[in-house]
Amino acid sequence: MSTEIVRYRYRAYPTGKQVRLFARLFGATRVAYNDAVAYCRAEHAAGRGFPTDVQTIVLTHAKKTPQRAWFNEVYGVCLVQAVGDARTAYRNFFDSLTGKRRGRKVSAPVFKSRHHNRHTARFSTAARFSVTIDGRTGTLHLPKMYGPLRFTASRDLPSTPTSVTLVQEPDGRYYVSFVVQRPTRTTGPRGAVAGIDVGLSSYAHVLTRTTQPGDLTATETVVETVTTIATPAYLRRKERALRRSQRALSRTTKGSRNRAKARVRVARLHRKVREARLDHAHQHAARLVAAHDMIAVETLHTAPMARNRRTAKAVHDQAMSQFLRVLEHKAASQGTPLVKVARTYPSTQTCSTCTHITGPRGLTGLSVRRWTCTHCGTHHDRDINAATNILNEGLRLLTHNPESPMDSRRHKTLAEVRQTPSPAQSPTKQEEPQEIRSHATPT
């Protein structure tokens, strides 16, 4: 049975003594990380390359000096993890420079500020921690922690955790995050595939294609259903409250208690927006993965979209990349194929009926929501047509079909490619399944 590594996060409720202990622990991990970065920078400036004795210099030798003698008062396991994080940050930076690490370029590690309001400390199994869950109440036991740390056990742990991370959010809440292994969940065939087109006017358009078997006298029937997921706009709902809270924060005196209280109020509103947005993505992703055998999505690059001053707020509030990331994780955990269509594929411009590229193009075509194909005369909805093309291209990529709606070498359409006879093509023409399309919007 295959397994996956996941995180289970619970809200914790530390006592007053534990809060003071955690504050000292967070400060020690920050200082250890900054010392590791400073030592690596000094070695690089001296021309000696990346050091291999970072932990020995930053922790073992530093604990014997008067400046870092207070490191002995906190958990040494967390300090070791902080130094390891600094080494990992430099490794990612070097891999990004050489091209070994794919994706956006990673910058060099920087110092952590003491004014940063989110703090973490990670405990490995060397800390000898233990977890006990009794109903809805859980306790985390650590040496020298002034008693057990109580947390709300919203669900049971599937296995013994290999590490636990203590997190303090900017709004003052504490969480414990466990790294556990759980078996992947497999489901039977559902008989449906889906193509998803995400956007700004609506959260997503989902085209579901279901194959219904026929009887002895009829062939199988293909039914297409379009579901529109409305835009939740969680940030715009809290925009007025955020504006008033941030205005009140700007009027307070720096360093005062009223400023700290105002900062917590702003952070609490941002947390509500963030959690509501993430829960919305989880709910719809779980529903889509549970109902389809294959899901095709379009690869998005939202960074240029977020740099547009007219659509930046809507792009960030929509959180399209977050939804696709959650969808990919849930599909992988249940063994559902998730096919990513390249963002260079003209899903909006291609007619889903005749596969000719006759749709709206350029910046002027962004406002065109409905258009008619000049080749076959089919009237299309922009988003539904894109979802159909994404599904067709995803099925082609999944089955490794040599035919494509767009030949990148000769720029031929699928109709033009099919006109060329193939020696491997069967001389007998098979009956194509009947297609029925219906549009349904959930209430």
Q: Kindly report, residue by residue over 44-63, the tens digit of the pLDDT.
A: 889 888 888 999 999 999 99
Residue 357: how many CB atoms within 10 A of its CB?
16
Higher pLDDT, 353 or 403: 353
Q: Are residues 235 and 334 in the same domain?
A: yes
Shortest CA distance to 269 belongs to which of 257, 258, 277? 277
Indicate the residue among 132, 159, 183 that finishes a domain.
Answer: 183
Nearest to 86 by CA among 66, 63, 115, 57: 57
Strand partners, 370: 381
- Do 232 and 98 reside in the same domain of the chain? no
How far apart, in whole angstroms, are the C-alpha atoms of residue 263 and residue 254?
A: 11
54 touches 83 (CB < 8 A): yes
Q: Is residue 296 domain-shared with residue 394, that is, in the same domain?
A: yes
pLDDT at 414 over 60: no
d(CA 400, CA 340): 14
What are the C-alpha distances in Å from 195 to residues 66, 77, 281, 294? 63, 47, 17, 9
Q: Do residues 317 and 281 both lie within one domain?
A: yes
Q: Which of 140, 164, 183 is the last residue of a domain?
A: 183
Residues 110 and 197 in one domain: no
Same domain, 179 and 246: no
Among 377, 348, 380, 343, smallest CA distance to 365 is for 348
Q: In this predicted model, which residue has the larger pLDDT, 201 or 10?
A: 10
Same domain, 177 and 200: no
Residue pLDDT, tens place only, 337-361: 999 998 888 888 899 888 888 888 8
pLDDT of residue 143: 84
pLDDT of amino acid 216: 54
- On whether both 310 and 367 belong to a single domain, the answer is yes
Output the pLDDT for position 303: 83
Structure tokens that stand for 7 in this block: 């995180």
Q: Considering the chain, what is the average pLDDT of its residues?
A: 85
Check whether 111 has a pLDDT greater than 50: yes
The reply to whether 121 and 229 lie within a common domain is no
Residues 3-21 have a mean pLDDT of 93
Same domain? For 172 and 138 the reply is yes
Domain end position, chosen among 139, 166, 183: 183
Give the helix/strand (H/E) hosting 281. Answer: helix 257-291
- The closest of 408, 406, 360 to 385, measured between CA atoms, is 360
Residues 196 and 164 in one domain: no
Round to whole Å and give the CA distance between 158 and 183.
9
Give the total number of structural domains in the chain: 2
Band of pLDDT at residue 421, cut at 50, 70 and 90 = very low
Question: In which element (H, E) is residue 38 found?
Answer: helix 16-45
How far is 15 from 361, CA to CA, in rounded Å?
Answer: 60
Structural domain for 239, as ranges: 192-439
Share of the chain above pLDDT 70, in %: 88
Q: Supply the pLDDT for residue 218.
A: 57
Whether residues 278 and 377 share a domain: the answer is yes
